[in-house]
Chain A
């Protein structure tokens, strides 16, 4: 079943066409990767899908609903969450609060109930807390729950970002270069971790990555962009042997 679908989305910045007529089809439960040279428009594609930018043209569908140009928070409410290429945690807040906040969008109590601690809010708060702690435990972050996010080592910050994204109850998770700044060893761990959370939370995953070990290891399908144009779509094997991809992106193989 198709979960995310874009039809001919295009993004122009002034004279520059960052993404041109991109057509994505991502099915439920898949892990799909988006790769391409620097500046190919991968992050821009993410930003269009998540509502940070409104596409210049084209439409985006999440399940049945048209989310083109919707505000990011509404898109998140519909079940699409993301992480960022440059980590964007709430730096001064505690690890627990970072995850807690990501539950706010589903809060039903209004502000008066919250300020006055009325029963509905109390109940909701309790369940949010439980869920947050559960997520932290799942991601091995429980022992840091009181620390400020900015004091975590980089790798853990990346994990916290994923935990935070998971807290919004997404159906589909977008990861922008989750392995950036990790060493090969950590990168390997990440690969299995992504598979795990996909199974555990019944997610669909769409990721951008430059580490081929990750991409080739977990992707069901891969889209390749170059200068905003989709130059190839296929499974890892097909992509690795696609001449255009090798020329534009991978280089002659000598084991990346």
Chain B
């Protein structure tokens, strides 16, 4: 590629008229789907806002292959080879974590779109994120289950080898136990693994305990199959979940069986929060002819936050950009107003949606807890 021609080692001489921003995502491998969603967002943002400081912004996409070893190399390559000034990504907290040391040591800021694992930004001044964290989301769903569904007993089925699902399940559990004041409010926590397709015995087991609600954090394909199989087994208990469910495929796969499934997410197109949301929605629908996923909006926002920081820094020096990213406050993104806290995490509202008539329908907005 063209980037190869840049002299390596020694004093960095970047191309003068372009600013490179790395997009660090799983393009191939098991998480390719999620990666693609975020890339869409970043690319759309780049198309709409192609310039900053009078220079063209170029996205350099690096595939982390859904693999931790590769992820570290890909991140190192972005930083050293492509001389990017900042990085967007990655879907999948573990890949972000693998890049953590590199961005910190090389002092290049990274903004994750949807990595919700608290460890990503913890103790790393160079990692940020534009989404909320699992603890918040867990609380939101616990509240919803307790208040709106009147649930007092809940069963959890979680994707045990997925850090996101394990974390979310735990935060939900803590919050729900606190709400009910009942140490046994969680009847059972049952597990499955990524790629599993048969959940019948897990479902039968938890249905025997008669929970009011089943909380099922995990990948959307598996989740859709879980709900589908539950219906086939005649289990008529409401399912609630997390932000990963908000993909068209969740409905495609689940069809009428996922009707009524409720989950929390970052953003809704029904109630555009900012003017940026409307621009994003319009352009996305025009380009792709469908409704965007939340993580796409977040990928879009990650780009904008970086761009904004470059603008404010008036420089392409990664360290200066980092300092400006850290100061991001009340920034109007497509998926809501973004304010980064001292950990570099976004403090923002969550949205609750339900599947109705084959579409995601907005239910409620939950403001962040101070």
Direct contact of A and B (CB under 8 A): no
